[in-house]
């Protein structure tokens, strides 16, 4: 008796097209990178001839053909990653009948799955009592069903693959337990692809549906949707590498506490508009940032602990007298933090000019190393993009970061009525090792009061 795999192989049609799929080359491997083609389209391929080399993170594996034929198409380019079970190469197997059982066994040993494609490839070459063809004309609906769908050799339902839709009105094939589970979950089994023999739907196939959170099974071929299994590899180098390291260092070392507060900025916005209208031509246009910086400078006087560098290896907090505000800026290459130095020594116009200058050179890429170092507390703004709050990551080894969210008109209760007010959230994170919640909150509340009554920004000694 032949083994089941050979039965599949028996269905190879003479003069058919045969697809060789990416074999399952090791446990837990979902894809492999094509590193070399040993054949090209149009090449004759002999049995056992190497067709391709593929690489996983563990090893390079050479893949032989288990049949002779001519290469019709290649499944990808060198450097491309192919999912296990996806098409590796298509061969025209010319002038061959079914492979001998020994070949089939070899093919099985190589864990290769070969299935015919093409409209004329469905007749199994089994020896069964043949009904007299004259006495039994093929009934109309006995038209051959669509060729078997490409099945991953690993039989893993997670590895997405195209599905041959079932014939109209055909009941999906599944055990009573699978049917009951699908019913419970409200899944129409007609939309689920079966990976079992005869396209039988297994519990694993249902699992795959649940994982995808849809009732579409492995894609919805009828709507032209198909799973995209492509993966693009991007080397993490340069600035991105530095950002990654810094973010990781910050999250790894610093237990963040994030505090979100709402600030009514109507008054400061009015003031800003007035100033922008009345400013001299040599003065920069004011944004909200210089006002926030000004407020932070004042708040830091009350809570000096937030303006610091924590050297956690030496267990020393370097608390700074000067306020050097890091300003997170988005550049084409990624995030940089420009340093607005000595804000305590700048007036609002000066701060604005410096902010603009740094932002411009960061965008142009002309910013110097020195201008990117030495900040003692950072401001990050996602305001323009919207978002009601976020959890900013502290610019390690600083101990605090103030995040600005989108300014919006919101109804505000003044004790008698709702008034439309310009409101903005501040989302700020603190290093909870050295800053207690109390101090964090006091700092943010102080900023809030200063921005809500902007005259106080300028009433200081």
Catalytic-residue membership of 436: yes
The residues, any chain, with a CB within 8 Å of residue 423's CB and separated by 6 or more, are: 262, 263, 264, 265, 407, 408, 409, 410, 412
Is residue 171 near other proteins by the rule CB under 8 A? yes
**Residue number, 40 or 135, with CB nearest to other proteins:** 135
With CB under 8 A as the contact rule, the residue among 61, 105, 111, 122 that binds other proteins is 122
**Residue number, 179 or 253, with CB nearest to other proteins:** 179
Give least dist CB 14 to other proteins, A.
17
Measured over the CA atoms of residue 214, residue 219, residue 224 and residue 228, the dihedral's sign is positive
- Beta-carbon neighbour count of residue 273 at 10 Å? 11
Give least dist CB 201 to other proteins, A.
8
Q: Which helix (H) or strand (E) holds 441?
A: helix 437-452
202 and 195 Cβ atoms separated by less than 8 Å:
yes
Give least dist CB 145 to other proteins, A.
6
Work out the widest C-alpha separation in the chain, in whole angstroms.
110
Q: Which of residues 173-192 bind other proteins (CB under 8 A)?
A: 173-176, 179, 183-184, 186
With CB under 8 A as the contact rule, the residue among 40, 128, 237, 384 that binds other proteins is 128
Alpha helices in 53-156 (DSSP H): 101-109
Residue 279 corresponds to which tokens in the numbers above?
A: 């400013």
With CB under 8 A as the contact rule, the residue among 141, 315, 368, 417 that binds other proteins is 141
**Residue number, 142 or 237, with CB nearest to other proteins:** 142
Q: Which of residues 389-428 bind other proteins (CB under 8 A)?
A: none
- Beta-carbon neighbour count of residue 333 at 10 Å? 11
**Residue number, 128 or 237, with CB nearest to other proteins:** 128
Catalytic-residue membership of 390: no
Q: Which of residues 2-31 bind other proteins (CB under 8 A)?
A: 2, 4, 7
Report whether the peptide linkage leading into residue 246 is cis, meaning its omega lies within 30 degrees of zero.
no
Residue of 302, 311, 347, 436 marked catalytic: 436
Specify the stretch interacting with other proteins by CB under 8 A; choose among 132-140, 299-307, 308-316, 385-393.
Answer: 132-140
Alpha helices in 1-128 (DSSP H): 4-10, 101-109
Residue of 38, 256, 390, 432 marked catalytic: 432
DSSP, collapsed to helix, strand or coil, labels residue 400 as strand
**# residues contacting other proteins (CB under 8 A):** 35
Q: Which of residues 74-113 bind other proteins (CB under 8 A)?
A: none
Is residue 129 near other proteins by the rule CB under 8 A? yes
Tell me whether residue 311 is exposed, middle or buried, using C-beta atoms within 10 angstroms of its C-beta: 0 to 12, 13 to 18, 19 or more: exposed
Nearest alpha carbon to residue 331 among 449, 214, 243: 243
DSSP for residue 354: H
Interatomic CA distance for residues 150 and 172, integer angstroms: 18
- CA 401, chain centre distance (Å): 26
Q: List contacts with other proteins (CB under 8 A).
A: 1-2, 4, 7, 122-124, 126-129, 131, 136, 138-142, 144-145, 148, 171, 173-176, 179, 183-184, 186, 196-200
List residues with catalytic annotation.
Answer: 432, 436
């Amino acid at each position: 008796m032949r083994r089941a795999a050979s039965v599949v192989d028996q269905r190879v049609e003479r003069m058919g097209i045969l697809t060789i799929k990416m074999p399952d080359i090791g446990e837990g491997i979902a894809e492999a990178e094509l590193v070399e083609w040993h054949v090209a389209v149009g090449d004759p391929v002999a049995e056992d001839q190497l067709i391709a080399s593929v690489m996983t993170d563990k090893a390079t594996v050479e893949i032989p053909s288990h049949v002779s034929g001519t290469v019709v198409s290649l499944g990808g380019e060198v450097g491309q990653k192919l999912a296990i079970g996806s098409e590796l190469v298509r061969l025209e197997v010319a002038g061959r009948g079914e492979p001998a059982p020994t070949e089939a066994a070899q093919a099985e040993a190589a864990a290769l799955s070969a299935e015919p494609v093409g409209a004329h490839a469905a007749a199994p070459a089994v020896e069964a009592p043949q009904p007299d063809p004259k006495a039994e004309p093929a009934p109309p609906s006995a038209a051959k069903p669509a060729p078997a769908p490409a099945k991953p050799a690993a039989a893993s339902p997670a590895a997405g693959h195209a599905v041959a839709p079932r014939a109209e009105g055909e009941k999906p094939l599944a055990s009573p337990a699978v049917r009951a589970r699908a019913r419970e979950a409200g899944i129409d089994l007609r939309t689920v692809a079966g990976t079992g023999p005869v396209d039988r739907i297994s519990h694993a196939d249902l699992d795959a549906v649940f994982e995808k959170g849809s009732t579409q099974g492995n894609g919805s071929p009828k709507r032209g949707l198909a799973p995209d299994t492509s993966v693009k590899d991007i080397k993490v180098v340069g600035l991105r590498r530095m950002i990654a390291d810094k973010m990781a260092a910050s999250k790894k070392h610093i237990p963040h506490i994030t505090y979100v507060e709402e600030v009514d900025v109507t008054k400061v916005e009015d003031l800003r508009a007035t100033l922008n209208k009345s400013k001299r031509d040599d003065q920069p246009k004011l944004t909200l940032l210089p006002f926030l910086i000004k407020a932070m400078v004042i708040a830091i006087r009350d809570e000096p602990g937030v303006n610091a560098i924590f050297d956690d290896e030496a267990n020393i907090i370097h608390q700074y007298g000067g306020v050097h505000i890091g300003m997170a800026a988005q550049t084409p290459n990624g995030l940089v933090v420009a340093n607005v130095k000595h804000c305590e020594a700048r007036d609002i116009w000066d701060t604005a000019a410096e902010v603009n200058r740094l932002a411009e050179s960061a965008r142009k890429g002309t910013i110097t190393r020195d201008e990117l170092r030495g900040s003692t507390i950072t401001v990050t703004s996602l305001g323009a993009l919207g978002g009601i709050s976020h959890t900013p990551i502290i610019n390690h080894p600083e101990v605090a970061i103030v995040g600005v969210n989108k300014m919006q008109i919101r109804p505000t209760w003044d004790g008698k009525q709702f008034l439309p007010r310009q409101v903005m959230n501040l989302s700020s994170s603190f290093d909870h090792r050295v800053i207690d919640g109390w101090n964090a909150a006091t700092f943010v509340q102080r900023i809030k009061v200063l921005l809500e009554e902007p005259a106080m920004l300028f009433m200081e000694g």
